Copies of this chain bind each other. A is one copy, B any other.
Amino acid sequence: MSEIRKHYFLDEHCIIATGRAKRPSAPKACGEESRSASCVFCKGHEGETPLANAVYKNGEILKDIDEQRITDWDVRCIPNLYPALSPEAPEVEHATFEVKKGYGFHEVIIENPLHESRLHLSSDEEILLLMKVYRDRVMHYQSQKEIKYVSLFKNWGKKAGASLEHTHTQLIAVPIMPSSIIRERKAMEELESCPYCKIVEKEKGKERQIYENDDFILIAPYFSKVPYETWILPKQHVNHISAFSDEMLLSLGDCIRTAVSFLDRTIPELAYNYMFFQIEHDLGYHFNIRISPVTSIAAGFEKNTDIYINSMPPEIATQHLLEKV
């Protein structure tokens, strides 16, 4: 049972989710064996998760309800067994402070049936399917009642918070618009034109560009909070993955795969999070993905000021990622 609690006086929220404490955790950093034999996300272990919400095979979603436990799948979307939010959340009240019931959706997208599969080694077919699944699932949850924002993100590696090592993405649909997104959107509104379009204009082809394809650029942003931070930006102004054609989805997948592959060859024992920033029904927003490798720990100064100290200039990170130095 969860609660969404509001800060005493700021427009900020946290989710108190007692049940999350019980979730299993990945092997410790030192010594322990890989848990692949007992991994609940592996092919053959479908009985150890809740029934699937959606199952994909050969590039298509399977329609039959009997497919929920099928063992022959390419991508499997399941309810998180230890959800932060749930559609059946009971009402909650607090005598003194503001609270909302923990209503929402929490899904795990198992990207591949094989434990040893790696996102950056995906084929075009695999990466296109994954992007289609992202689009489908985000659109599905975006249309649920009272849902204001759908967070799509990937945790890879224990240092980046992943509690299970089998490659997966998560989606949490929340009944509030995150204050950080509201703030960013407001700042954008005060400008004459889209600041992300300007970033594309200014960074494209310059010293912090790491990669580009037809539709996207991959940059190490001028404003980088952590070493090897990278952003993916569509060259054309587009607000949300629901507006992407299949061609664009393949471009996007190609860009994500390239980013992870460059990070993987540059950073030993790579751990990272990537997050989708997008707002449906708001054409003014500019879709973007931020990839944050975890090589350092935000500590007292960052928690006090929200100013990050980054020991790796993005210009040099770009050189490293391109293997130019």
Residues on A facing B (Cβ under 8 Å): 5-21, 29-31, 84, 94, 96-97, 149, 151-155, 159-162, 170, 172, 174, 176, 178-181, 183-184, 187-188, 191, 195, 198-199, 202, 221-225, 273-277, 290, 292, 296-301, 303-314, 316
The answer to whether B9 touches A195, judged by C-beta atoms less than 8 angstroms apart, is yes
Say whether A174 contacts B14, CB under 8 Å. Answer: no
Decide if A160 touches B198 in the complex (CB within 8 Å): no
CB distance from A235 to the nearest CB of B (A): 16
Among B7, B299, B312, contact of A160 (Cβ-Cβ < 8 Å): B299
Chain B residues whose C-beta falls within 8 Å of the C-beta of A195 in the assembled complex: 8-9
Write the nearest CB–CB distance from A237 to chain B, whole angstroms: 15
**Besides the contacts A97-B222, A155-B300, A162-B299, what 5 more A-B pairs have beta carbons closer than 8 Å?**
A5-B222, A15-B309, A94-B222, A178-B307, A276-B304
Q: Which residue of B lies closest to A315 (CB)?
A: B16
Would you call B300 and A275 a contact (CB within 8 A)? yes
Q: How far is the CA of A316 from the CA of B13 in the complex (A)?
A: 19
Given contacts A20-B311, A30-B31, contact A14 B296 (CB under 8 A): no
Nearest-Cβ distance from residue A233 to partner chain B, whole angstroms: 11
Q: A16-B313, A17-B309, A311-B20 are in contact. Are A303 and B149 (CB under 8 A)?
A: no
Residues of B within 8 A of A94 (CB): 222
User: Closest 6 CB pairs between A and B?
Assistant: A153-B300, A161-B299, A30-B30, A161-B297, A178-B305, A275-B304
A281 CB → nearest B CB, Å:
18
| Contact (Cβ within 8 A) A15 B223 | no
Across the interface, do A308 and B15 meet the contact criterion of CB distance under 8 Å?
yes
Q: Which residue of B lies closest to A194 (CB)?
A: B9
CB neighbours (8 Å) of A292 from chain B are 303
Residues from chain B with a CB closer than 8 A to the CB of A6 are: 223
B301 touches A151 (CB 8 A): yes
Which residue of chain B has the shortest Cβ distance to A11 in the bound complex?
B187
In the complex, A224 Cα to B159 Cα: how many Å?
Answer: 22
| A13 CB → nearest B CB, Å | 5
Docked CA distance A309–B6 (Å):
13
C-alpha spacing A179/B306, complex, angstroms: 8
* Assembled-state Cα–Cα distance A221/B223 (Å): 32
Nearest residue in B to A184 (C-beta to C-beta)? B10
**Is the Cβ of A199 less than 8 Å from the Cβ of B8?**
yes
Question: Which residues from B are CB-within-8-Å of A298?
Answer: 161, 298
Contact of A297 among B159, B274, B299 (CB under 8 A): B159
The chain B residue sitting closest to A277, CB to CB, is B304
Q: Chain B's nearest CB lies how many Å from the CB of A84? A: 5
Complex interface: chain B residues within 8 A of A31 (CB): 30
Which residue of chain B has the shortest Cβ distance to A299 in the bound complex?
A: B161
Q: Which residues of B contact A297 (CB under 8 A)?
A: 159-161
CB distance from A316 to the nearest CB of B (A): 8
